[in-house]
Structure 1
Amino acid sequence: MCEYMIKNEKIKAAEVELTGIHGENLGVVPTTEALELARKLKVDLVCTSLFSSPPPCRLISSGTVKEERQQARKKEQPAKLKEIRLTPNIEEHDYDTKRTQADKLLRAGNSVALVVRVQGKEGAKAKVLLEELIQDLKEVGIKKTGIQLSGKQAMVQLDPR
């Protein structure tokens, strides 16, 4: 649906291709007749595209229009990548906190980068920690990248399911 919707009396076309409240096709009808039907049903007549003739219009309750706009805006926003930092020698309580944080972010539709800072020979420990986190978050997140060990950190990215 377009950002600037034309509705009701602002529709200047002589006739419109009308779709009912429940998505049923009502065919091509004169605009005046469509407006009368909209008033009778206490809904809005909304033009969904200006690039065809006759223009397609729908009968929509005003609450539905706002809802559809909000849904469209949510879909437009790309998923954000959030980083969660950990250490290889993490305690159980801290691990649970980080897991819960990652779970919330994934459920909200964001991607999560789990980063473990590594010093010396902690690479193997970091990999085990990340594999455990991936396993715990498998119902809400899906692995986008493999576990990447590079210099001072180990990282994996999870996308929401």
Structure 2
Amino acid sequence: MDYGKFKYEAAQKQRESRRNQQMTVIKEQKLRPKIDDHDYETKKGHVIRFLEAGSKVKVTIMFRGREQSRPELGFRLLQRLGNDVAEYGFVETSAKQDGRNMTMVLAPHKGAKTRAKAAQQSNASAPAEQTSDEPAGKD
């Protein structure tokens, strides 16, 4: 085998391995310790949507002013969020304080992306079945 063919095959293998590589996307959701219930539900919905899409989610609690003296509020909020989204993902990195911020990383359960695609396909086929039950027209 000559060097040119060897080089070509090595490049093909490298290209193939890059194609099969899984790209991990980390989305971020920022919260404040004194978040209202409706705002919390909205942010939780975003986190659930990201996890269903197969992305990891970094949840950041931003402390300002006197909020920094009460880190347990942020810790409880992160625990609550982790429990609320437990069916969609799990806590990959537990809550830890980093200066003014407290962060936690949530990761989707294995196969979350394939389940989301299957659900989307079943939803797309459901309306097609409903239209076939209707009568063809008036006489």
TM-score range, shorter chain: 0.5 to 0.7
Does residue 142 of structure 1 match 2:87? Answer: no
TM-score normalised by L of structure 1: 0.52
What is the Cα deviation at residue 76 of structure 1?
Answer: 3.6
Q: CA RMSD in A?
A: 1.7
Gaps of 5+ in 1: 1-72
**1:9-31 Cα shifts (integer Å, max 9, x gaps):** xxxxxxxxxxxxxxxxxxxxxxx
Does residue 84 of structure 1 match 2:32? Answer: no
Gaps of 5+ in 2: 1-17, 110-139
The residue aligned with 2:52 is 107
The structure with higher relative contact order (CA 8 Å, sep 6+) is 2
What is the Cα deviation at residue 133 of structure 1?
Answer: 0.1
What is the aligned residue count?
A: 89
Partner of 2:107, secondary structure, is strand
Q: How far, CA to CA, are the matches of 2:70 and 2:19 in structure 1? A: 41
The residue aligned with 1:154 is 102
What is the Cα deviation at residue 78 of structure 1?
Answer: 1.2
The residue aligned with 1:50 is none
User: Moved runs in structure 1, 4+ residues, more than 3 A?
Assistant: 73-77
What is the Cα deviation at residue 79 of structure 1?
Answer: 2.3
TM-score normalised by L of structure 2: 0.60
Which of the pair has more CA radius of gyration? 1
Percent identity of equivalent pairs: 29
